[in-house]
Amino acid sequence: MAAKALTALLTVLAGVGAALALYWVLNKISEMLPERLEERLKPYFYILPAYAAIVIFVVYPAILTVTYSFQTKVGFPTQEFVGLQNYKDLLSNEAFRQTLLNTLLWIAVVPALTVVLGLMVAVLADRLQTRGENTVKTLIFMPMAISMVGASVVWGLIYDFQPKGRPQVGIQNAIVTSFGGDPIAWVQENTFHLNSFLLMVMLLWMNVGFAMVLLSAAVKGVPGETLEAARIDGANERQIFFRVVVPQIRVTLITVFITVLIGVMKVFDIVYVMTRGNFNTNVLANEFYLQFFNNNDQGKAAAIVVMLMIAIIPIMIYQVRSFRAEEAGR
Partner 1 sequence: MTTPAVVTEPELETEKKRPKGKETHDASTGRAGWFVYGALAVIVFLWVVPTLGILLTSFRSRDDSKSGGWWNLFLHPGQFANLTIENYDTAINGTNLGEGFVNSLAIALPATFIPILIAAFAAYAFTFMRFWGRDVLFIIIVSMLVVPNFVSFVPMLRLYRDYTPLGGTFPAVWLFHVGFGMSLAIYMIRNYMSTLPTTVIESAKIDGASHFQTFWQLVLPMSVPVLASFAIFQFLWVWNDLLVALVFLGPGEKAPMTVAISQLLGQQGQGQEFVTAAGMFSMILPIVVFLSLQRFFVRGLTAGAVKG
Which residues within the stretch 16-45 sit at the binding site for partner 1 (CB under 8 A)?
16, 19-20, 23, 27, 40, 42-44
Q: Tell me which residues in 153-182 interact with partner 1 (CB under 8 A).
A: 153-158, 160, 167-171, 174
Q: Which is nearer to partner 1, 27 or 191 (CB)?
A: 27
How far from chain centre, in Å, is Cα 50? 24
Q: Which is nearer to partner 1, 109 or 261 (CB)?
A: 261
Rounded CA separation 98/112 (Å): 22
Contact 115, 253 (CB under 8 A): yes
Q: How many CB atoms lie within 10 A of CB 155?
A: 23
If one asks whether residue 210 binds partner 1 (CB under 8 A), the answer comes out as: yes
Radius of gyration of the chain, Cα coordinates, nearest whole angstrom: 26
If one asks whether residue 125 binds partner 1 (CB under 8 A), the answer comes out as: yes
DSSP three-state, residue 178: helix
Rounded CA separation 80/71 (Å): 5
Question: Where does this chain touch partner 1 (CB under 8 A) — which range of 62-70, 77-85, 88-96, 182-190?
Answer: 62-70
Question: Where does this chain touch partner 1 (CB under 8 A) — which range of 78-86, 87-95, 181-189, 203-211?
Answer: 203-211
Q: Which is nearer to partner 1, 53 or 112 (CB)?
A: 53
Q: Which is nearer to partner 1, 191 or 232 (CB)?
A: 232
DSSP string, 50-78: HHHHHIIIIIHHHHHHHHHTTBSSTTSTT
Q: Which is nearer to partner 1, 38 or 189 (CB)?
A: 38
Q: Which is nearer to partner 1, 2 or 192 (CB)?
A: 2
Closest Cα to residue 65, out of 305, 311, 316, 310? 305
If one asks whether residue 330 binds partner 1 (CB under 8 A), the answer comes out as: yes
Q: How many CB atoms lie within 10 A of CB 295?
A: 12
Q: Which is nearer to partner 1, 109 or 253 (CB)?
A: 253
Q: Tell me which residues in 236-295 interact with partner 1 (CB under 8 A).
A: 237, 252, 255-256, 258-259, 262, 265-266, 268-269, 272-273, 276, 285, 288-289, 292
If one asks whether residue 8 binds partner 1 (CB under 8 A), the answer comes out as: yes
Q: How many CB atoms lie within 10 A of CB 313?
A: 9
If one asks whether residue 149 binds partner 1 (CB under 8 A), the answer comes out as: yes
Rounded CA separation 198/186 (Å): 8
| Helical packing angle, 194-220 and 130-141, nearest 10° | 150
Question: Where does this chain touch partner 1 (CB under 8 A) — which range of 87-95, 99-107, 122-130, 187-195?
Answer: 122-130
If one asks whether residue 105 binds partner 1 (CB under 8 A), the answer comes out as: no
